[in-house]
A and B are shown apart, each in its own frame.
Chain A
Amino acid sequence: MGQGDHGYTFPHRGLIAASALNRVDLELIFDSARAHLSRNRTEDKKHPSLKGLTVINLFFEASTRTLASFEIAAKRLGADVVNFSAGNASLKKGESLADTANTLAAMQPDLLVVRHHSPGAAEFFQRTTGISTINAGDGANEHPTQALLDLFTLTEHLGDIGGRRIAIIGDILHSRVARSNVALLSLMNADIRLCGPASLLPADADRWGASVFHSVEAAIEGCDAVMVLRVQRERMQSGLIPSAREYAALYGVDHTRLSLANEGCIVMHPGPMNRGIEITSALADDEAVSVILDQVEAGVAVRMAVLELLAERGQQETVL
């Protein structure tokens, strides 16, 4: 799909890191995602390009929305889907990750989708098994499909985001979403701003190709999009920030703070939201600015596009 138009073959065996993608890769993915997005809105959503292929979703960390998004994406493409998730006993029997990988590989799946708490875990699976792997989040390292769906949503609303000012606000230190987004937004030459409490910002964040802010007002000023990140309760328990109340007062995004942004600024959140902490309910539900549900919808389409491109690539390898 799409390769003919670009005279370019999607070169990646798997999707491990957003930072490995180039602009043509993004065009391929987004062209395909656009088609899936419109088909997903019709009654017959089936597009069986992965018919006969097996996709294993391997989620070592709890997830509802990302797992559901990948499962729906693969099923709409006609693949056979098996889910292993954190609660699943088979993932807790103390075997090494290499043994788990090899055991699953012996069942001859065609694609793996892996979420794990350790940076490098998805790459580890791909290297160990030789099977195309999509990173659905490896610790605080990368979450490439989230960044893709975010960029897709941004582009759908703002057009070319080159030069556009985009603030990412929250727990940057622990966020794979922020890291993957910075990679793609840099590639698109966006003007990136990172903002959060100093204890939740990496010490060298200013070297990520982004400007760093501790004041949320200053960060939002003149923005075309604001990405709000989830702040986890465990950050308070582990003494990184004081309280939900203080976080909401100092870093929470609401209509007043958003009024400092450019006209037409959109608000994004990767979910799940802590309403009243990092974002007010009124803002999250304001259809004029919030594109949070658009992100969720785009997620399925973008994941369908990625699965399809990797599957095509896999089939070509088989032919060769």
Chain B
Amino acid sequence: MSGALFISGARLMDPATGRETAGDLRAAGGVIEEIGPGLTAQDGDTVIEAQGAVLCPALIDIGARASEPGAAGIENLDTTIRAAAAAGVGTLILSSSSGTGLTRPEDLEWISYRGLQSPVRLLGAACTHTPQSEMAEIGLMLRAGAMLVSDGGEIVSDTRFLRNLLSYASAFDAWVGLTAEEIHLSAGTVAHESAMAVRLGLTTRPGISQRLGVERLAALAELTGARILFERLTTADGLDALKTARKRGLELAASAPLTHLVFNEVDIGGLDPAYRLDPPLRGEADRLALLGAINDGLIDIIVSDHTPVALEAKANPFSDAAPGSASLEALIPALCMLDADGQLPLMAGLKALTSNPADLLCLPQGRLYEGAPADLVLFDPAAPNVYGKDGLESPAPSAFAGRRLQGRVLMSVVDGAIVYARPGYAE
């Protein structure tokens, strides 16, 4: 493992600076030692001929769910980690709603422990509240390594409690990830409110539910001084509210799930439970607004929102199926497809999965410069890819299954070590 890694002839993309150049990269001792055109490999280096493939910082996914802690279900944590490595994710921050929930300091310690054996950097988000709806031990969980605090998709309806929580968390300078929905409009619904969903007879929530949610949380951010991350924004209404709130100089950030950049409500037309997601798929105007928001920086972060749902939980009619999709391994192919279709420049998509989450959480990863951690992903952005056709690490049901995407991860590097190589590659 002492040997250095030399990658030659790559298309180097550094989302932090927006620079794209042809060149080489040498990684040694876990860091990027040299980067630029015309480098020469040294004796003993493992040499990879990139042949024009894209080399960029490994992805940082701050919103993937694992089935553990608790019963592993369809996909145990090792499998999720393997899927992350295959997806080019170098830093995997488990959602606080993973398994039975990351609600105690012990759960974060468990992640650290599992991280010792993990090829990718494994971290976690602390849940805001306990299963008994009391404030969770946020301070101790942050101390135990939690990267942020999050409601894990469960809306905190009690505004007084939320105020206390935000106030309490503000003393730790932690980002608090919250779900922006008006619970009385969103609870029990399975689809976005539209002519189509109503005609299908589905229970629906209007886009303004998210707008009300954003406005409520922004007001509380103003009152408490807390840093709020709006998790999984998906509507044009929500984005409008975010744009207004941002003007008030608050510390706000927002994330969007990958599925909602690719799919819209038309995909649920066949009532295929694979498209049962939470939040539900929105209208095409919402999807385009989301892409625009990522491109112009209104949305900081893309998350995989990877959710391994058991096959039997999906084996139900649309409304009764469990929401969620395995999405980690669709990250790069979806970004490449959106780029090829002229919907979202690859650099903007990568920025939302590398330097932006790194900046938000003060991580040293996510950038290409000499001295930076050697967390890298090499991918062919032009390779045709029908999702799942060539096999996947994650066995969980996916909304992307059988969909025509583009691009293929060739190799993932974490801390200077190859943690994934496409079969036949880099051997």
Chain A residues packing against B (C-beta within 8 Å): 197-199, 203, 214, 236-237, 239-243, 245-246, 249-250
A198 lies within 8 A of B171 (CB): yes
In contact, A242 and B171 (Cβ under 8 angstroms):
no
Q: How far is the CA of A237 from the CA of B224 in the complex (A)?
A: 21
| Complex interface residues of chain B between 213 and 260 (CB less than 8 A to chain A) | 223-224
**Which A-chain residue is minimally distant from B134 (CB atoms)?**
A239
Closest to B226 in A: A198
Q: Is the CB of A240 within 8 A of B164?
A: yes
Q: Chain A's nearest CB lies how many Å from the CB of B402?
A: 45
Cα(A241)–Cα(B134), bound, Å: 9
Q: How many A-B residue pairs have CB under 8 A?
A: 51
Question: Which residues on B sit within 8 Å (CB–CB) of A197?
Answer: 168, 171
Q: Are B164 and A246 in contact (CB under 8 A)?
A: no
B161–A246 contact, CB under 8 A? no
Q: How far is the CB of A109 from chain B (nearest CB, A)?
A: 41
CB distance from B82 to the nearest CB of A (A): 34
Binding site for A on B (CB under 8 A): 134-140, 143, 158, 160-161, 164-165, 167-172, 223-224
Q: Tell me, in angstroms, the Cα distance from A107 to B171 when the chains sit together.
A: 52
Does B137 contact A246, Cβ atoms closer than 8 Å?
yes
The answer to whether B139 and A250 touch across the interface, beta carbons within 8 angstroms, is yes
A245-B140, A246-B139, A249-B139 are contacts. A199–B167 as well, Cβ < 8 Å?
Answer: yes
Q: Are A242 and B135 in contact (CB under 8 A)?
A: yes
What separation, in Å, do the CA atoms of A198 and B143 have in the docked complex?
Answer: 17
Q: A243 vs B130: C-alpha distance in the bound complex, in angstroms? A: 11
Q: Which A residues are in CB contact (< 8 Å) with B136?
A: 242
* A199/B140 in contact, CB under 8 A: no
Measured CB to CB, the closest approach of chain B to A128, in angstroms, equals: 34
Cα of A239 to Cα of B163 in the assembled complex, Å: 10
Instruction: Contact check, A243 vs B167: say whether CB atoms are below 8 A apart.
Output: no
Q: Is the CB of A239 within 8 A of B139?
A: no
**Looking across the interface, which residue of chain B has its beta carbon closest to that of A239?**
B161
A242/B164 in contact, CB under 8 A: no
Q: How far is the CA of A237 from the CA of B140 in the complex (A)?
A: 18
Q: How far is A237 from B134 in the complex, measured between Cα atoms in Å? A: 7
CA distance A197 to B143 in the complex (A): 15
The chain A residue with its CB closest to the CB of B156 is A239
A70 to B170, CA, bound (A): 41
* Cβ distance B364 to chain A, nearest Cβ, rounded Å: 24
Using CB atoms, name the residue of chain A closest to B138.
A242
Specify which of A197, A199, A237, A243 lies most central, judged by the most chain B CB atoms within 10 Å of its CB: A199
Asked if B137 and A198 sit within 8 Å, CB to CB, the answer is: no
Top 7 nearest A-B pairs (CB, nearest first) are A214-B171, A198-B171, A199-B168, A199-B167, A246-B137, A239-B161, A242-B135
Minimum C-beta distance from A236 to chain B (A): 7
A229 to B161, CA, bound (A): 23
Give the docked Cα–Cα distance between A197 and B224 (Å): 13
